[in-house]
């Protein structure tokens, strides 16, 4: 009997659900295992070494859970750990398996969005400090095509992790960061939400962004990029299970994850607690 592998989707917490939701919408036939490392979130304020350690442990766990392919639905892990995991850990763990991130597909999509080349990147401190977005942009398009303005929004992930989307507190921090971004470059015509938690604040973000500015959130981009990857890699695609199963795991409180996760996914989910190490 054919018993294929799963696609793992990993984030520090709830943010990766914004990616998983779009992936399931586009590719409902595969089996998905979502892992939120809520017990150790946020990642965005942690050092390179710590994010790498947490991400590598999570990949190992997802491989043990029969995932052939893992998507880092987390910019911070993509910025700080992806390259080392692809170049070092994969060879030791299982050279047939793959780990993909969210930054490269987002940068590839920029040329479809921006008309004047002025881009704002909002992300965690870790992602901003890594300069992954400007570096990837330069690699792909050269130094002159885009003017990148980066801003860390360290208060936004705690708002999401605590289910604070619309109150006065959330409004204060969202407005403050966006005012700061446009004060740095008033010509920005495209904003990258470079943290997978941020789309959960989208209704609020849209209130403080001029109507002509495009907001690039990663769910659709990453799901299209995954579909394209599977087309280009039939050896991976043919080894994936197709039962349309979705399993959710958190390293913290499963009941809380079920509650908030159901709100974010728009339907009820079941979640189990998982100990990573
Ligand atoms: N959702 C993650 C990201 O895209 C990380 C948030 C955090 O844990 O700080 O960067």
For residue 38, what is the domain's CATH number? 3.40.50.1860
1 occurs within a structural domain: no
Q: Residues 78-95: what's their mean pLDDT?
A: 95
pLDDT of the residue at 1:
54
Cis peptide bond prior to 42, omega within 30° of 0: yes
Does residue 59 sit within a domain? yes
Q: Would you state the pLDDT for residue 217?
A: 84
Mean local confidence (pLDDT), 171-185:
98
Best residue among 9, 40, 157 to mutate for probing ligand 1's pocket (most ligand atoms within 8 Å of CB) is 157
Q: Measured in angstroms, how far is the CA atom of residue 146 from the centroid of ligand 1? A: 24
Domain boundary among the residues 199, 218, 237 is at 218
Instruction: State the residue range of the domain holding 116.
Output: 103-218
Calculate mean pLDDT across residues 257-277: 94
Asked if residue 79 belongs to a domain, the reply is yes
Of the pLDDT bands very low, low, confident and very high (cuts 50, 70, 90), residue 2 is: low
Is residue 37 assigned to a domain?
Answer: yes
Domain boundary among 218, 235, 250: 218
DSSP label at residue 200 = G
**Same domain? 91 vs 188:** no
Task: State the DSSP H helix or E strand holding residue 152, giving kind and residue range, or none if neither.
Answer: strand 147-152
> With a 6 A CB cut-off, is 12 part of the ligand 1 pocket?
yes
Which of 16-25, 157-166, 180-189 has the lowest average pLDDT? 157-166
Q: Answer yes or no: is 257 within a domain.
A: yes
Residue bearing the bigger pLDDT, 3 or 134: 134
Provide mean pLDDT across the span 73-92: 96
Q: Return the pLDDT at 165.
A: 85
The answer to whether residue 242 is domain-embedded is: yes
Reported confidence tier of residue 161, pLDDT bands at 50, 70, 90: confident
Q: Model pTM greater than 0.75?
A: yes
Tell me the C-alpha distance between 195 and 205, whole Å: 13
pLDDT reading at 162 higher than 70: yes
Q: Which of 203, 218, 233 is the last residue of a domain?
A: 218
Q: Catalytic positions, please?
A: 74, 195
Residues 20 and 107 placed together within one structural domain of the fold: no
Q: For position 96, what pLDDT does the model report?
A: 94
Rg of the chain, C-alpha, whole Å: 18
Axis crossing angle, helix 132-141 with helix 103-113, rounded to the nearest 10: 60
Mean of pLDDT values over 116-144: 97
Closest C-alpha to 152, from 186, 195, 214: 195
Domain count, the chain: 2
Whether residues 81 and 121 share a domain: the answer is: no
Position 11 scores a pLDDT of 97
76 close to ligand 1 (CB < 6 Angstrom) = yes
């Amino acid at each position: 009997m054919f018993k294929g592998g799963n696609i793992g989707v990993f984030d520090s917490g709830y943010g990766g659900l914004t990616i998983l939701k779009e992936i399931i919408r586009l590719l409902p036939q595969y089996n998905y295992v979502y892992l939120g490392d809520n017990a150790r979130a946020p990642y965005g304020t942690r050092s390179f070494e710590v994010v790498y350690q947490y991400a590598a442990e999570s990949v190992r766990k997802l491989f043990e859970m029969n995932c052939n392919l893992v998507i880092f639905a987390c910019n911070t892990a993509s910025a700080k750990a992806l390259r080392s995991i692809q170049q070092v850990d994969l060879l030791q763990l299982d050279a047939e398996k793959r780990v993909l991130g969210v930054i490269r597909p987002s940068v590839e999509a920029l040329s479809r969005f921006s008309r004047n080349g002025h881009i704002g990147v909002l992300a965690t401190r870790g992602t901003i400090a890594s300069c992954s977005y400007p570096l990837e942009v330069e690699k792909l398009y050269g130094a002159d095509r885009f003017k990148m303005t980066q801003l860390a929004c360290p208060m936004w992930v705690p708002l999401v992790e605590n289910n604070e989307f619309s109150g006065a507190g959330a409004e204060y921090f969202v407005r403050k960061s966006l005012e700061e971004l446009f004060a740095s470059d008033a010509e920005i015509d495209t904003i990258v939400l470079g943290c997978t938690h941020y789309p959960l604040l989208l209704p609020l973000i849209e209130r403080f962004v001029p109507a002509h500015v495009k907001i690039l959130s990663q769910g659709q981009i990453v799901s299209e990029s995954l579909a394209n990857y599977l087309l280009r890699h039939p050896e991976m695609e043919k080894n994936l299970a197709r039962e349309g199963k979705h399993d959710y795991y958190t390293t913290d409180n499963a009941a809380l994850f079920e509650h908030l996760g159901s709100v974010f996914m728009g339907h009820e989910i079941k979640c189990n607690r998982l100990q990573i190490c």
